[in-house]
Amino acid sequence: MTHSIQEQRGHTLLELSISVALGLVIVLAMISLYRGQRISFERAAETARLHEAAATALDLIGQQMQMAGFVSASNSLTGNLPTLFGCTKGRPVGADNAPSCETLTSRSDGVLVRYAADTVSTWPSSSGSSTDCLGQNSSGEQITNRFYAKASSSTVEPELYCEGSGKPGTGQPLVEGIERLKIDYWLKDASFAVDANAIARDRWPLVVAADLCVLVRGELGSASVRPRYTDCDGTLVMSSDGRMRQAFWRRIALRNGRSGESS
């Protein structure tokens, strides 16, 4: 009797190697796709954080600068105090009636804003008192708020700070990520804006508008990536620490037209 023998042939070493290589290529492609999607998501989230921080800072400072010199029917400004005063690469310090500038390592500009205090120009506290930029009760008939940006002493991250009249001399952070402020001022009938250093103390009443720029720094950084950005001076700069940065601008018209005058 004749028996038929069925031959069984296994995979050769070459075929097995090709299969393993193809599997590795697919796995690496999936990992690369995942990493690419993750990086894109992180960049999009970082960009959104930058825009949110900038919008908050521009709104806060812009609203305050528009209030400079405000007086109400029941409350007026007292004393020969400036209602708007700025510093170039520094923050306003000293008494309200004679502010001066203290240099900041952050190179941030600073601005002092003053207006009459009531529960219409400010958010009222639970006791019905007027409040400063930090929500602190502010006694007296005027609000004085001072804005600038610097690195936090605890986290070393840059933040927008405000010193309010509710607790003079004590600044508190308001918006994280704000690395620098730059403010140029438009004097009445001027054809170009100038920084605070170019404005004599007796000419602050002539300021009618301001160009405000905030430079925002992101949280994520990479030593291998050096993104470029345009800073508040309009200069193209390469990031030294690999973090994303973006500058945002806004022009602010001063509404009350009495900056620096006494009432």
How many C-beta atoms lie closer than 10 Å to residue 231's C-beta?
17
Ramachandran area for residue 177 (φ above 0: left; ψ -120 to 50: alpha; else beta): left
Rg for the chain, CA atoms, rounded: 29
Q: What is the pLDDT of residue 158?
A: 95
Range with the largest mean pLDDT of 4-13, 44-53, 182-191, 212-221? 182-191
Indicate yes or no: pTM above 0.85: no
CA pair distance 188, 208, nearest whole angstrom = 6
Range with the largest mean pLDDT of 68-82, 120-134, 233-247? 233-247
How do residues 20-34 score in pLDDT, each as one tens digit?
788 888 888 788 777
Q: What is the pLDDT of residue 233?
A: 93
Q: Burial letters for 36-64: b for 16+ Cβ neighbours within 10 Å, e otherwise?
A: eeeeeeeeeebeebbeebbebbbebbbeb
The two tokens of residue 156 are 């070393």
How do residues 85-110 score in pLDDT, each as one tens digit?
999 999 999 988 889 999 999 999 99
3-state helix, strand and coil shares in percent for the chain, rounded to the nearest 5: 25, 30, 45
Question: For a pLDDT cut of 70, what percent of the chain falls above it?
Answer: 86
Q: State the DSSP H helix or E strand holding residue 32, giving kind and residue range, or none if neither.
A: helix 13-67
